[in-house]
Chains A and B, each alone.
Chain A
Amino acid sequence: MTETIGRPILEAPIAQGAHDQHMILNMGPQHPSMHGVLRLVVEIDGEIVVRLYPEIGYLHTGIEKTCEAKFYHQVVPLTDRLDYLSPMANNLCYCLAVERLLSLEIPEKAEWLRVLLSELTRLNSHLIWLGTHAMDIGALTVFLYTFREREEILRIFEGLAGQRMMTSYFRIGGLSMEPPLDFFDRVQGFIRTFPEKIDEYSNLLTGNPIFKGRLKGVGMLSAADAIALGVTGPNMRGSGVDFDLRRDMPYSSYEKFQFKVPIATEGDCWARYEIRLIEMRESVKIIQQALDGMPEGPIKADAPKIVLPDREKMKTQMEALIHHFKIVTEGFAVPAGEVYQGIESPRGQMGYYVVSDGTAKPYRVHFRNPSFATLQAVETMCKGRMLADVVAVVGSIDIVLGEIDR
């Protein structure tokens, strides 16, 4: 690790004319391969990347400031908008943090359903990554295939929460409502056929000489650099660092599930591709375990002053109506303190830091999003490579600008 510590990275903005033979090239903010509004300022010598500098903030909406003006339960829909490709992971992270502030126990069924939904979200997110990444490289077919499967996941989400993407299905204290009657059958039907679909993608890509040539040995990131630059998740595991919060610091009853954490040591784009394919297979196993062992019971904690009552009770019982009115108009007070909750989102370690001053609104909410840190490693991965490899690298690290800019 010693050679990376203290090495200056991303030192200063790149200025035109610093070197006569070099050209400054802006990739983005409007560029089809930049996955949103990422701008990369690239200094190139011919076609070789000399320096690279990410400029972000084009999508900054001040969500952290907005949170400070909302009641705790009103923040849940805001978290969907951060990493909009894996809303359930964001919901989960926020709800877990506030539940720990409240010292609130969650029913087992809610925890298991949360695990199931987190893994479905992971499939959803990895499918988009695979489709767009392959499309960036020039393999257009896979995109249509992955979106076919993603559509089924979104339909399951729609049946569950009424929304396809911004589900806001999690609540502080559990889940918003019982899943529909056909939910478990649909999930079972989906994951029964899904492993074959992964084989199908693999058949299209893994043996494809162009895809291989574009990814193998490209975007190298050593284990020491990954740790020094804050890279997490599949990108870190592709560099040989064996750490996964689901296994090593389990939350939401992940300790009850058996799954493997794939590791690759090469640290190139190809390793990251393979890791995510295996992760999808492991997610299917976790979902199967969740379906097989789904406990019975309520999906909301028994905390009438925090959890909204069922509509039926609210309309028939005086007490439930009062609680409903109180929670909606005044929120609920959360004991003073600070909590940092980390989860393994599809993109890496996500962490929500929630500070309470004892009132009904969060004093400070901070989102530690994996893509933000991963972006710092792009220069290390691209330096000395061809300009076309930048596209492969940015595709392979799977970033979402919504959570970078917040």
Chain B
Amino acid sequence: MTEAKTFIGKTAVLEGLAGNPAVKAVLAWNPEALLDAKFDRGELTLTIAAGQIRAAAATVQAAGYNFFEDVTAVDWFPSSPRFQLSYHIVSHSHKERIRLAVMLDGAAPTVESITPVWPAANFYEREVFDLFGISFEGHPNLRRIMMPDDWQGHPLRKDYPVEGYR
């Protein structure tokens, strides 16, 4: 397998993958916003400060990562910060994929919507809002998408009872 190399931590990634276009673009844009980085199992993860995700998305888009593939969340309850948002973005020209991650606190989690950068994020952000209860500022139509409009709670949260509230 070609995934032998692993870099954990921001400094290791900056040294080991200095030539990566995404790493270069993010550093040129705002090195402060890059909180953490990881290259594990052939996948590059850049952890971005929560308030900066829209600008970061525009930055990597300009660096050739042109195709938004997916955004989803992971609930690390009960640890803090509780929510991890994972954005997967593919580059058609570099033929590789990166992950932008954002960590959010459990109380009233809110993050900027990236729909102005990629309209494709529309349904995906609605899904995260519906199933995790994370709000996206600037989303054109933030409503439930899977569950009925009058549903209580957010089913993919770890503290959601599997059999529903009784």
Query: Do A and B come from the same complex?
Result: yes
Using a CB–CB distance below 8 Å, which chain A residues touch chain B? 4-13, 56-57, 60, 62, 64-65, 69, 100-101, 103, 105, 227-230, 241-243, 248-249, 337-340, 342, 349, 351, 353, 355, 363-364, 366, 368, 372-373, 375-376, 405-406
Q: When A and B form their complex, what is the total count of cross-chain residue pairs whose Cβ atoms lie within 8 Å? A: 119
Among B11-19, B21-29, B104-112, B143-151, the one that faces the other chain is: B143-151
Which chain A residues lie closer than 8 Å to B95 at the CB level? 248-249
> Are the C-beta atoms of A340 and B143 separated by less than 8 Å?
no
Which chain A residues lie closer than 8 Å to B120 at the CB level? 228-230, 373, 376
Inter-chain CA distance A315–B131, complex, in Å, is 45
> Are the C-beta atoms of A364 and B141 separated by less than 8 Å?
no
Within the complex, which residue of A57, A229, A243, A248 is in contact with B145, where a contact is CB–CB below 8 Å?
Answer: A57
> Are the C-beta atoms of A353 and B146 separated by less than 8 Å?
no
B-side interface residues, number (CB < 8 Å)? 44
Determine how close the nearest CB of chain B comes to the CB of A299; give it in whole angstroms: 19
Inter-chain CA distance A69–B158, complex, in Å, is 11
> 6 closest Cβ contacts across the A-B interface?
A230-B120, A368-B70, A366-B72, A60-B146, A57-B146, A364-B74
Within the complex, which residue of A6, A56, A227, A376 is in contact with B116, where a contact is CB–CB below 8 Å?
Answer: A6
Nearest A residue to B45 via CB reads A338
Within the complex, which residue of B42, B86, B90, B144 is in contact with A353, where a contact is CB–CB below 8 Å?
Answer: B86
Which chain A residues lie closer than 8 Å to B97 at the CB level? 249, 340, 342
Determine how close the nearest CB of chain B comes to the CB of A384; give it in whole angstroms: 18
> Are the C-beta atoms of B123 and A376 separated by less than 8 Å?
yes
Determine how close the nearest CB of chain B comes to the CB of A118; give it in whole angstroms: 19
Determine how close the nearest CB of chain B comes to the CB of A393; give it in whole angstroms: 17
Nearest B residue to A352 via CB reads B70
Q: Which of B40, B143, B146 has the most CB of A within 10 A?
A: B146
With A368-B70, A405-B146 known to touch, is A10 a contact of B122 (CB < 8 Å)? Answer: yes
Inter-chain CA distance A56–B123, complex, in Å, is 10
Within the complex, which residue of A13, A243, A338, A376 is in contact with B143, where a contact is CB–CB below 8 Å?
Answer: A13
Determine how close the nearest CB of chain A comes to the CB of B158; give it in whole angstroms: 8
Within the complex, which residue of A7, A8, A101, A351 is in contact with B69, where a contact is CB–CB below 8 Å?
Answer: A351
Determine how close the nearest CB of chain A comes to the CB of B68; give it in whole angstroms: 6
Contacts A337-B41, A372-B124 known; 19 new A-B pairs at CB < 8 A: A6-B116, A11-B141, A56-B145, A57-B144, A57-B146, A227-B66, A230-B121, A243-B92, A339-B43, A340-B70, A340-B88, A342-B69, A342-B90, A355-B74, A364-B72, A364-B74, A368-B88, A373-B120, A405-B146
